[in-house]
Structure 1
Amino acid sequence: MPLRAGRGSLIAPIAVIAVAASACSSEPRSDALPQASAIKPSTQPTDVFKDLKACDLLEPTTTPKSFDPPVVETYESDNGCATRKQGFGSVSIYLVPEAGIDQLSAGQGTKIPTKFGSRDAVEIPGDAGTQACTVAIAVTPSARLTASTSLNKGTNEEACALSREIAEAAEPKLPRGN
């Protein structure tokens, strides 16, 4: 159907302009969304780790052992880091702000309660099968550090020794939880 120029053709553009102008009104609206400053800080989630980066915690332990340079990894959280050593195995560390040690799955292993300093922790030998181990340190009831090792050859205990070493080196740098 062809459009015709005529009297009725001005109604649509005028209606659009009127609607647009009313949307730009300077009159306050009662249905306006609250401003960000009106939202209470306690309702916004906070990351207990703030600016702490997982790679900054992993690198001091792995570089002297001739591991590859650590790289950011996001498998367990957005703040993770991993590295490997050719012929030896791989290690990773994660800062998990939204899940504590109670939420950590034991996988194929068994959780063994332990302590790192005054912090509660768990060690999970064999969590990913043989030659593997994860150590997790509680930072708060709902936040943790996780250090994991997977070896090409060796035992769960050898994997746990490296995971413990990584966790022990990182623990003093972790924030104190509530």
Structure 2
Amino acid sequence: MITKSRTLLVVSLSTILAVGLSSCSTEKPGNATPAPTQSNSTSAPNSGAPADVFKELKACDLLEPTTTAKGFASPVEETYESDNGCGARKQGFGFVSLYLVPEAGIDQLSPGQGTKIPTKVGEREAVEIPGDAGKQACTVAIAVTPNARLTASTGLNKGTNEEACALSREIAVAAEPKLPKVS
């Protein structure tokens, strides 16, 4: 009985497979026509991600001139706020960082423990955030576009928020002329 059932099962499966394969064809009836092509060759592909306004600009290239002159260690790449960040430390003093953030403007910047104070750096809109990371800390952020910014942050081992803001402001002012001009 079991052998008869197996034979019936094998025959049934073979028949189903043969019918299924015979109904498939690699040829389609009709005339072959090429797929339509896009006529506008100058349009950028729509990847869903905004274009990086900073392109080849590197955060460490903007931070290094200010920090080297002040005795900081060589800047190193960081990726906390964006993929284009840089930080430097000075033994016994504190740290500084600079980030180029292509996907969030100054309006999207969280003040942390501080308060955003509107200001200008050069002709650009900016905010200063004393105490953003607690005492002895400050961030200055410059608007490059409504959805892109530079942030310069300082955290001191000793000192005040005002001293931290002075260094963050100095870094931002030095970097601002090198930022892209976007209308």
Do the structures match in fold with TM over 0.5? yes
Q: Does 1:157 find its partner at 2:162?
A: yes
Match of 2:67 in 1: 62
Letter in 2 for 1:150: G
Match of 1:53 in 2: 58
Letter in 2 for 1:141: P
Match of 2:80 in 1: 75
Instruction: Please state whether the residue corresponding to 2:173 is helix, strand or coil.
Output: helix
Letter in 1 for 2:120: K
Number of aligned residue pairs: 173
Gaps of 5+ in 2: 1-13
Match of 2:147 in 1: 142
1:57 Cα offset (Å): 0.1
Structure 1 Cα separation of the partners of residues 45 and 150 of structure 2: 23
Gaps of 5+ in 1: 1-7
Letter in 2 for 1:166: I
- Aligned match for 1:85, one of 87, 90, 98: 90
TM-score, with normalisation over the residues of structure 1? 0.80
Structure 2 Cα separation of the partners of residues 103 and 95 of structure 1: 14
Give every structure 1 segment of 4 or more consecutive aligned residues whose post-TM-superposition deviation is greater than 4 Å: 27-30
1:73 Cα offset (Å): 0.3
Q: Does 1:124 find its partner at 2:129?
A: yes
How high is the sequence identity, in percent, across the aligned residues?
73
Structure 1 Cα separation of the partners of residues 34 and 46 of structure 2: 25
TM-score, with normalisation over the residues of structure 2? 0.78
Match of 2:100 in 1: 95
Instruction: Please state whether the residue corresponding to 1:175 is helix, strand or coil.
Output: coil
